[in-house]
Amino acid sequence: MHLTIFMLGSRDYPKLIQDKLTQIYSAGVKHKQLDSDTIDVAEAIQCNRLSYYERTEPENDALPQIIQRISKLGFRDAMGSKAAEYKVENLTLIVTPDLVFEKDFVVNIYPVSTIPDSLLPGDMLYTNACLFALDREVGVVVYVTPDGQQTQYFVGKSNRMFEQVVRRARILSILLGERKTPVIEPSQYCLNCKYNDRCFPQQKDNSPQLLEGLFGLGKK
């Protein structure tokens, strides 16, 4: 028993596992190398600065994110999901809906920890873009929790929403082509973003002098 513990302790198994999953993810799961005139709608609807760094100076994802993305694309593979394109002049938008019903509607399925009270904006924009790429009129967004709860929301085709996606995609395309970093788009998602330090560099000061000066807590 002690030998087993010693042998396990001699190697960093968590790192070995993460490195292997990262290798799998990089080889077959990560976004294919796209040119600056080809934008995945998922890139356009999230923070453009995040999308830019993912293309130009990517950092490895943490293990939970890698597993989540592998699981998502594994699900799409099982569903037979296929990418579709929509061209606007020299710009090409790419979407990959989860399910497409012939000449009818599009379905996107999202695993969530709790059922949201309303349709999330990013999911609405992505599903609406799917409708344009596949020439459908109705989309359905399904949210499913680990314990089996589910709900669905309907998405009607909206030119105005799609124009917003095209505008963001075009801006990202231009900035990628010119190698210019997009402006910061502060939101609650910044706290957990792996590029947070690039946008909001922080210098921690653990010394008590600042608080003492602010609140008159100096030694008497």
Q: Tell me if 146 is assigned to some domain.
A: yes
Q: Tell me if 210 is assigned to some domain.
A: no
CA distances, 15 to each of 7, 74, 191 (Å): 15, 23, 24
Residue 176 pairs in a beta bridge with: none
Q: Compare 85 and 23 and report the one with higher pLDDT.
A: 85
Q: Tell me if 148 is assigned to some domain.
A: yes
Q: Tell me if 206 is assigned to some domain.
A: no
| 90-139 pLDDT tens trace | 999 999 999 998 778 999 999 899 999 999 999 999 999 999 999 999 99
CATH code: domain of residue 175: 3.90.320.10
Please tell me the total count of domains within the chain.
Answer: 1
% of the chain at pLDDT higher than 70? 79
- Region for residue 80 given its phi and psi (left: phi exceeds 0; alpha: psi -120 to 50; beta: otherwise): left
Q: Compare 62 and 118 and report the one with higher pLDDT.
A: 118
Q: Tell me if 176 is assigned to some domain.
A: yes
- Global pTM value: 0.79
Q: Tell me if 110 is assigned to some domain.
A: yes
CA distances, 142 to each of 107, 145, 155 (Å): 7, 10, 11
**Confidence check: pLDDT of 5 > 60:** no
Q: Compare 70 and 173 and report the one with higher pLDDT.
A: 173
Q: Which residues constitute the domain of residue 74?
A: 2-29+38-196
Q: Tell me if 202 is assigned to some domain.
A: no
Q: Tell me if 201 is assigned to some domain.
A: no
Separation CA 87–CA 39 (nearest Å) = 10
> With bands split at pLDDT 50, 70 and 90, how would you rate the model's confidence at 4?
very low
**Confidence check: pLDDT of 210 > 50:** yes
DSSP annotation string for the chain: -HHHHHHHHTS-HHHHHHHHHHHHIIIIISPP---TTEEEHHHHHS-HHHHHHHHHS--PPPHHHHHHHHHHHHHHHHHT---EEEEETTEEEEE--SEE-TTSEEEEEEE-SS--SS--HHHHHHHHHHHHHHT-SEEEEEEE-TTS-EEEEEEE--HHHHHHHHHHHHHHHHHHHHT-PPPP---GGGGG-TTHHHHS-------SHHHHHHHT----
